[in-house]
Amino acid sequence: MKFAVIEFPGSNCDRDMFNAALNTGFEAEYVDYRKTSLEGFDGVLIPGGFSFGDYLRCGAMARVAPIVSEVKRLAEEGRPVLGVCNGFQILTEIGLLPGALMHNTSHKFICQNESLTIVNNETKFTHQYDKNETVIYPIAHGEGNYYCSPETLKELQDNNQIILTYKNNPNGSIEDIAGIVNKEGNVCGMMPHPERAMESLLGTDDGVKLFQSILESWGK
């Protein structure tokens, strides 16, 4: 199985995402945002960073990048799409996930390990975890405050689309939401960084199960 790691101007977690994919057993290749085809790829990884300098708002300029139409095509075909941090922001901007990411309520950039809960372990991204398992993923963002309308929140809850929540909400996200999936279950976005949680030597390897879940779900 081969993943495209999309690189935008300002991406800075692309290598982490690339290595996480390789170390799990995937093939991976960097793909420039100006490309117009993802032919030959089985899935998409959108890394963190500051695409286009976060001008206008985070992820807004990435929305019109040439590669986006292909990302949408793979998503519509049921292929896995994972967006982390700025990748999550981009997925909301391009309409593959609901809601929006706003400034942290502290109006400060937060960079620390964060304790989270796997609230839905029945998705293709989380099935190797136990329900309500506590995991430690790093966070590093200034605009990670997830917001959606009350109607959208109810829909997320009713469809069991909330997969990851903060134990000590660091950014003001509604209902402590840290990560969600789309209705179909093949598009996942989260602010914490599982690709930076792959080695116990670096503090936590709790992200390993997420990538292993993807491999088991789609890599057959």
Paired residues of 107 in beta bridges = none
The single residue of 141, 143, 188, 193 carrying the catalytic annotation is 193
Of 7, 93, 143, 195, the active-site residue reads 195
Question: Of 13, 85, 148, 188, which is the active-site residue?
Answer: 85
Environment class of residue 182 by beta-carbon count within 10 Å: exposed (0-12), middle (13-18) or buried (19+)?
middle
Whether 133 sits among the annotated catalytic residues: the reply is no
**Residue 193 annotated in active site:** yes
Q: Residue 168: exposed, middle, or buried by beta-carbon count in 10 A (0-12, 13-18, 19+)? A: exposed
Strand partners, 124: none
CA distances to 119, 132, 137, 161, 192 from 177, in Å: 10, 14, 14, 10, 11
Active site residue 27: no
Phi, psi of 214 (to 5 degrees): -65, -45
* Helices vs strands, H then E, count in the chain: 5, 11
| Active-site residue set | 85, 193, 195
